[in-house]
Amino acid sequence: MSATLNKFTVGFGISAAITIFFNTLLMIIKEEIPSVHTFMVTLSGHHWTSHGLIDVVLFLLLGFLFSKKEIHQNISTLLIISTIISVLGIIFFVYYK
Amino acid sequence: MFEGILLLLHPAIAVITMLLIVWLIVSVKCKNINEARVKKLSLVIALFMLIIWVLAGYWYVIFYSTDKSVIIQSSWSFAHKFFMETKEHIFFVVLILSLYLPIVAFKNNIATNKTAQNLIVTLGIILLTLMLYIDGAGAIISHGAEIAYMHKDGLV
């Protein structure tokens, strides 16, 4: 039974965790800074479309970047923590905005 | 007509995707893992999520602004202010995690790698939890719009 993950799995796992966290951060930034919101509208015609495209591009870029090196990381735990923090961040920010 | 079909199509595909995720989890937890099935399921889940992004995104960008203006003036304004605002951003978490699924399935020997198996189960559980929230939020927004239009038309 193998217990180690392939380097692409680790690299893209770390990338997913960072992108998920960045997603919440970008939401807060665009809601708080109107110029960022306007810039995102000009990118694709709608801030939400740009938001998704930026997330996907970041996920792919960071994924390939982190896959270049052998990194040992518990990806499941990392993704659970990242998702909980990010989702709670979204919920609290929207609730208190 | 097109607007209505588009509106109903994306949650319908989302429900099918949730069932596929359950199938994926069960497939990984099986004693004899069918690796080809795990790969196919992970790929279809990612593909369906991309389709949902396009369908829901098109409806949200093109049609939703009219409903939004009616909802936020009604007593159900929270349907947009809280549920749509959280739903539209939590969706990207789901999108990223579902795009990650095929990478885990294709780059590891799922039949023998216990860590990769556990990772797929973890991803599946996170995806199901968030998708259930998104579906519930969608139902609240839909009901909010219904009530808002009834108020606007003087039916309530």
Provide the pLDDT for residue B130.
98
Give pLDDT tens digits for B88-116: 999 999 999 999 999 999 999 999 999 99
Query: Pick from A63, A81, A76: which is nearest to A7 by CA?
Result: A63
**Residue B46 structure tokens:** 């990612």
Q: Give how many domains chain B has, as a whole number.
A: 1
Provide the pLDDT for residue B155.
78
Interface test with A, best of B92, B103, B110, B119 (most A CBs within 10 A): B92
- Alpha-carbon gap, residue B17 to B41, rounded angstroms: 10
Distance from CA of A12 to the nearest CA of B (A): 7
Question: Residue B57 sits in which domain range?
Answer: 2-152
- Alpha-carbon gap, residue B46 to B36, rounded angstroms: 16
Give percent above pLDDT 70 in chain A: 98
Please answer yes or no on whether B96 and A20 come within 8 Å at the CB atom.
yes
- Alpha-carbon gap, residue B85 to B128, rounded angstroms: 19
Distance from CA of B126 to the nearest CA of A (A): 8
Contacts of B86 in chain A (CB under 8 A): 90-91, 94
* pLDDT-based confidence at residue A97 (cuts at 50, 70, 90): confident
Give percent above pLDDT 70 in chain B: 99
* pLDDT-based confidence at residue B55 (cuts at 50, 70, 90): very high
Please answer yes or no on whether A23 and B93 come within 8 Å at the CB atom.
yes
pTM exceeds 0.90 for this model: yes
Buried b (16+ CB within 10 A) or exposed e, B12-40: ebbeebbebbebbbebbeeeebebebbeb
Give pLDDT tens digits for A82-91: 999 999 999 9
Q: Which residues neighbour B56 within 8 Å (Cβ) at sequence distance 6 or greater? A: B10, B91
